Amino acid sequence: MTADATGSLHVTGDRRARHREARRDRLYHAAVELFVEKGFDNTKMEEIAERADTARATVFNHFQRKTAFLDEWSLRRRRRAMHAIELEHLEDRPLRDILARYLTELARISADSRAETVACMGAAIRFTNVFGNPELAHQFEGFVARAQKAGEVRPGTDPEHAALLLASSYFATLSAWIGEEPAPFDLERRLLETLAMILDGILGR
């Protein structure tokens, strides 16, 4: 399987696997459309099945609970951010460069699909564990640990703790950005400013 610039997976195996993935993709897009139109709370699994032109049981075969669509939404955004890093061959660049590019891509995705971000991120904050143990933090932990081995990060820094701080700041900033209409600030600029604040610290030297 390979991921494209939209975060979608493309199955390169047999026809049955490709059809299954296409069905899953159709269900995902149907769900997100309904979340934007009706709200997460007001969308039923039966409606997702109807929009995707599948049986209700098919929805549960791919997404066992409604919040699984939010997990998929977040996963696709993370894939797109990683794709941007890989496309520009930034994997071995300093931590600041990697995180800046990653957050820039997330900001651009959010700005380009604000209604979707408001609907899905708002629901994710209420119904999933975005601040407790998010997958985003696990990805950031890998970045921090690699940078620590390269001597960029202080030896005493806990990569897991640092990653959770970075992820939590992202979610807090995004939460504030979706909380008002129109958008109260430039998301990309705010995320990069916050990143600099975390990496540089706030105390004078």
Domain coordinates of the chain in residue numbers?
1-64, 67-204
Same fold? 1-64, 67-204: no
67-204 folds as Tetracycline Repressor; domain 2 (1.10.357)
* CA separation for the pair 61, 74 (Å, rounded): 20
Cβ 142 vs Cβ 91: under 8 Å:
no
pLDDT of residue 9: 54
The enclosing H or E element of 9 equals strand 9-10
pTM assigned to the model: 0.90
Please name the residue that has the structure tokens 């997990």.
Answer: 71
Dihedral over Cα of 148, 84, 118, 35: its sign: negative
Phi, psi of 55 (to 5 degrees): -75, 155
Q: How far is CA 106 from CA 12, 36, 148, 173, 198, in A?
A: 27, 19, 24, 12, 18
Question: What was the pLDDT predicted at 195?
Answer: 98
Quick check: 141 and 159 in contact, CB under 8 A?
yes
What crossing angle do the helices spanning 135-149 and 67-87 adopt, rounded to 10°?
30
pLDDT in tens, the chain (205 residues): 455 555 565 555 688 888 999 999 999 999 999 999 999 999 999 999 999 999 999 999 999 999 999 999 999 999 999 999 999 999 999 999 999 999 999 999 999 999 999 999 999 999 998 888 789 999 999 999 999 999 999 999 999 999 999 999 999 999 999 999 999 999 999 999 999 999 999 887 6
Task: Return d(Cα 105, Cα 123) in angstroms, integer.
Answer: 21
Helix (H) or strand (E) holding 114: helix 114-127
Q: What is the CATH number of domain 1-64?
A: 1.10.10.60
